[in-house]
Amino acid sequence: MKQKSKKPSFNSATAVWSLQDAYRGPGHLIRRLQQIAVAIFMDEFKNLDITPVQHIALVAIRDHPGLEQQTLADLIAIDRSSAGRIFPFLEQRGLIERITPPNNRRAKLAFITPAGTRLLASGVRLIRQAEQRIMKVLNEKEQRVFMEHLRKLVNINNTQSRAPLRMRSIKNDADRLNVAE
Amino acid sequence: MKQKSKKPSFNSATAVWSLQDAYRGPGHLIRRLQQIAVAIFMDEFKNLDITPVQHIALVAIRDHPGLEQQTLADLIAIDRSSAGRIFPFLEQRGLIERITPPNNRRAKLAFITPAGTRLLASGVRLIRQAEQRIMKVLNEKEQRVFMEHLRKLVNINNTQSRAPLRMRSIKNDADRLNVAE
DNA sequence: AACGGATTGACAGCATGCGGACGGTCATCC
DNA sequence: GGATGACCGTCCGCATGCTGTCAATCCGTT
């Protein structure tokens, strides 16, 4: 009964791909983890009535005043189309304002409102709790290792996705808005 | 210059949650990894014209002949509503058949067709390549550790999601269909 | 100054994922 | 035997994510 010394962590080389293989493979597990993370976030934020993507979009707008759609898409790694749907939503809820600068009539620069700032302030505790709830099944060392692997996977594979993250060194987007802010 | 000995792997306890915090936190990274995994899958399967969820649904139907919607939802961890949309799609593409048994007129049992079997056969190589492409940035030991953490996170948090995985010990769903198969 | 390419916002289409609702059907309990 | 509750399929609504297209606008080059 000699066993193969290097049993792969997934993806054994059989001729068929069974449901059991799927359970063990990264694809299915990553999808499940994403489902779980979203569910926990929604549970924590149920009183604030905001989704994970809307939340990070609002954070990006606060940290980069004067964002437009493409810049937001790059900053939080969503495509232009999705970004275009988030703006009207946040605007309609009064969390952001959009201003068309006089020197560029096609742009609409986004700024967070006091209501948006308040929402983010009350969300700080919640998002920390959400992250704790997801990760607490791992001990501290495991968490560190897992996060490191996660960052490695995401950073190196970044360009593989259709909406890669493009961190920008923006001093202040509002500079392009030549009106008193 | 004494540094805190136990720097957390994410989620430092500052008063605000900045975009940089989001980049380091599990929520954003898990979403990104899911995006990347889907993009790589779609690229590998572009000739077969099938999505990740449709693929695993087809695998589940092959491995559990005579599935109905709720059972499929439990087996691959999607909700009933999503399962209800996958069946007509697979049926219309000729990958599965649905039969209403005479002794239960409300059910529609799903069976894979020869075309479906062929599609899965030609997908075995592709899904292995997709998984390799995602994971190859980690070395073999890192992959093993990461997959172990991933399984731990998903299994223990399973019930946190709205559509938890419910593995079933089904001998043969087709037994309930009292007609010659 | 005029043209062409790039950018921007907006929209449509398709697939997932979740919540909820509806009617038809079955099985069980009284 | 009839009513209740559970189950099944179906559909609607909303948000995400990606692919396209379109017109308006801007900008660099000629």
Cβ atoms within 10 A of the Cβ of B50, count? 22
With both helix axes pointing from N to C terminus, report the angle between B52-63 and B69-76 in degrees, rounded to the nearest 10: 110
Tell me the torsion sign for CA atoms A32, A35, A38, A39. negative
Q: What is the pLDDT of residues A81-127, one digit of tens each?
A: 999 999 999 999 999 999 999 989 899 999 999 999 999 999 999 99
pTM: 0.88
Backbone angles phi, psi at B25, to 5 degrees: -80, 160
Whether pLDDT at B73 is above 50:
yes
Mean pLDDT of chain A: 87
What are the pLDDT digits (tens) for B131-149? 999 999 999 999 999 999 9
∠ Cα A132 A52 B6 (to 5°): 30
Listed in sequence order, the residues at least 6 apart from B3 whose beta carbon sits closer than 8 Å to its beta carbon are none
More confident residue, B111 or A168: B111
The shortest C-alpha distance from A139 to chain B (Å) reads 10
Residues of B in contact with A148 (CB under 8 A): 9
Name the closest nucleotide to B72, judged by C1' and CA. D8
Contact check, Cβ <8 Å, A160/B56 = no
From the CA of A131, how many Å to the C1' of D15? Answer: 21
- The pLDDT assigned to B67 comes to 93
Show residues of chain A in contact with B154, CB under 8 Å. Answer: 29, 32-33, 36
Answer whether A146 sits within 8 Å of B144, measured CB to CB: no
Cα separation, A173 vs A110, in Å, equals 10
Span A49-64, pLDDT tens digits: 999 999 999 999 999 9
Q: Cα(A53)–Cα(A90) distance, rounded to whole angstroms?
A: 11
Q: Render B55-84 in DSSP notation, one character per residue.
A: HHHHHHHHHSTTB-HHHHHHHHT--HHHHH
